[in-house]
Structure 1
Amino acid sequence: MTIPPWFERLDYEESVVRGELAALREKAAVLEERLARLTITRETLASLTGDGCGGAVGGAVHSVPDPPMVPGPASGVGPAGGEPAPPPGPLDLEVARERILVLLAGAHQALKVQDIGEAIGEHPERVETTRSRLKKLAKEGLVAEVSPAWFAITPAAPEHVGDGGEVPGTT
């Protein structure tokens, strides 16, 4: 018995749709990661400016409303905009490096080690770990120690942050 041509066509269409669906799921995962980074940046800037809601930064009130909540992937993994920030604790090296670079790139000024550690979610008792990570980033030329315990992003470093690309030295 042979398979009629319309079943072959259905098989082909199913495979095309499955491929498109896989591509959309991958794109959704990338967008969720970007949203998580934007949320971290907003919370960091809000904490630095003393604004609890994150609606005003530097005196300018943002009139852009928050987008509606979109459910995450079926796995249930992924950040949600309404979830509270995780409690401070030891951070993975790559996570800490990325958060430090994003924070300093958005700050446009030098920040104290203690403030950087608090803003990236590192436990206050781990200030020396944060200092060590900042010194390492300074050796790589991504940040500069402008005075003892004060660090700022270097002028060339912001192009490496925030576009989803690799941060040098993290691979």
Structure 2
Amino acid sequence: MTIPPLFERLDYEESLVRGELAALREKVSVLEERLARLTITRETLASLMSDGRGNAADNPVRAAPDLPPATSPAPGAGQTGSEPAVAPGPLDLEVARERILVLLAGAHQALKVQDIGEAIGEHPERVETTRSRLKKLAKEGLVAEVSPAWFAITPAARDHAGEGGEVSGTA
């Protein structure tokens, strides 16, 4: 094996790891946001249970351990590590486009449609919606389908990336 193929392999492996890190960072961000919402909810419930003097004894609302289980699990609850924490319902078109562009701009490599959908918080059953959005972005020249089901940001879109990793021109 000669030196150039070794460097090519190293570049390929490095780009895979960078993509995985970008996806994990997105997951961490989603989970941190959910944790913050849960904390706010707990604080709100605690304040509603108190009578203004810190005494919740006369309040008919039960404490958290006695609450009945929810009829449907909260988004992300009880999911395995391979499933994303998703919001109910489909993502708004513009929100999904922006998340896709920011994800791909930070990934520095091509990503699979399924991984993109998971990283942006789209429900796994909506992979074809994610694929359709990626195809539209490809027609606009913002992303490229480098092989079937693998998409990467284009240099033109990367050149328009803003300071915080945001990509402009997503109208």
The TM-score normalised by the length of structure 1 is 0.50
Greater relative contact order, per chain length (Cα 8 Å cut-off, separation 6+) = 2
The TM-score normalised by the length of structure 2 is 0.50
